[in-house]
Amino acid sequence: MNVVLDLDGLDALVRVLRRDGRVVVGPVLRDDAITLAELSSAAGLPSGWGVETGPGHYRVRRRADAAVFGHSAGPQSWKRFLHPPRRRLLSSDSSGLHPAEDDAPNYAFLGVRPCDLAAIAKLRQIVGGRAPFVVAAQCTEPGELCFCASMGCGPAAGAGYDIALTERIDSDGHRFLATSGTDEGAEVLARVPARPASPNDLALADQDVEAATRRMGRAMPELDLRDVLTANRDSAHWETVAERCLTCGNCTMVCPTCFCVSVEDTTDLDGNAERSQRWASCFEIDFSYLHGGAVRTSGAARYRQWMTHKLGTWHDQFGTSGCVGCGRCIAWCPAGIDITEEAAALATMMELGGERP
């Protein structure tokens, strides 16, 4: 099903999803960033706001129009709803053990970028859980750090959405081409005020998405990155990166697919205990701790572990890359380390037979 919604239609879509008992989450402007929060209406979307990004740099900016999806990835991803930063696993008291109840809401995600749509699929492959209802927002205006096209994760929305929206503002007004991807998505759209999409509506949407492909701010090398990383396992370049890397773990916290956790047990003086799970990072010195000490004690070893897993050995575990090209790790690295530049440097060294360029 292909229909066209106006702003009232978009608001009606939010109302329909909420009436169905779903918690609707989407982008909002908060604390000088585009973050994710529960929406009661489409009025909460960041109308007229875009972002300016660069290595170690993120700023919101006023747009010249009222686009609600005219921004690239912000500091939060949908991971925090599917794989919460902290989660209780079980507790105990004088009456015994009490496993934590699965009280995850029935989510509807509104405005999911294609890169994040791919990330949701990768993450759910690992953590499972109830599938959210997904309203994707096709990317027609990539950011300065986006490289989803070179990772095969955008700017067009791939599989996994219930509804895909393509936003357009021109002399004919502000509207959204809505395409159903599932029977459930078609059923929801049938309850929203809309007009049938014309061939011109479809052509303009395809044109805008295709144009976005040519405006990507970054790209990964067109090589098998698994071979690149294997060839540079002992490269001195890792030490060069480590001279800048603060091993702060920002890249893993903002990454939409990093899933590592640590399990902690706490007790109180009354004899109550709790076991909880929290996000962890391979940049933590204790992350690789085994009997007698940590395996990866240097910043170079920890950065190599992160990048090699993300771009290389993730294929061995899950049959795909762990990177979707969202650019968050570049924007939120305080040292401005750029994963695409590091991959390119390693690729050049491999082509030169291991010599540093």
Render pLDDT for 86-110 as a digit per residue (tens, 0 to 9).
999 999 998 999 998 888 899 999 9
Question: What's residue 84's pLDDT?
Answer: 95
The sign of the dihedral angle between the CA atoms of 153, 157, 162, 164 is positive
pLDDT at 352 over 80: no
134 in Cβ contact with 160 (< 8 Å): yes
Q: What is the mean pLDDT of residues 191-217?
A: 95
Contacts of 15 (CB under 8 A, 6+ apart): 41
Convert the pLDDT of each residue in 20-53 to its tens digit. Answer: 999 999 999 999 999 999 999 999 999 999 999 9
**What pLDDT does residue 356 have?**
44
Q: Given a cut of 50, is residue 324 above it in pLDDT?
A: yes
Strands 23-30 and 107-112: parallel
Q: Where are the alpha helices (H) located in the chain, listed in sequence order? A: 7-19, 79-82, 114-127, 183-189, 199-213, 225-231, 237-242, 250-254, 299-308, 314-318, 328-331, 339-351
Domain count, the chain: 1
SS3 22: coil
Q: Quick one: pLDDT at residue 357?
A: 40
Which residues are CB-neighbours of 169 under 8 A, at least 6 positions away?
A: 65, 66, 67, 175
Residue 248 lies in a domain: no
Q: Indicate the average pLDDT of the chain.
A: 94
Tokens representing 23 are: 């918690």
Structural domain includes residue 337: no
Residue 271 has pLDDT above 70, yes or no: yes
What is the token pair recorded at 164?
């895909």
pLDDT for the residue 290: 86
In DSSP notation, 199-233 reads HHHHHHHHHHHHHHHTT-S----SS-HHHHHHHTT
pLDDT-derived band of residue 354, with 50, 70 and 90 as boundaries? low
Residue 298 CA neighbour count, 13 Å, CB half: 10
Mean pLDDT of 110-134: 95
pLDDT at 103: 81
Among 129, 135, 116, 128, residue whose Cα is nearest residue 184: 135
CA-to-CA separations, 37 to 3, 15, 24, 61, in angstroms, rounded:
27, 16, 8, 20
- For residue 51, the enclosing domain spans 2-87+100-213
294 pLDDT band (50/70/90 cuts)?
Answer: confident
Q: What is the mean pLDDT of residues 52-79?
A: 96
pLDDT for res 310: 97
Please give the pLDDT value at position 331: 97
The residue-averaged pLDDT of 228-232 equals: 93
pTM to 2 decimal places: 0.93
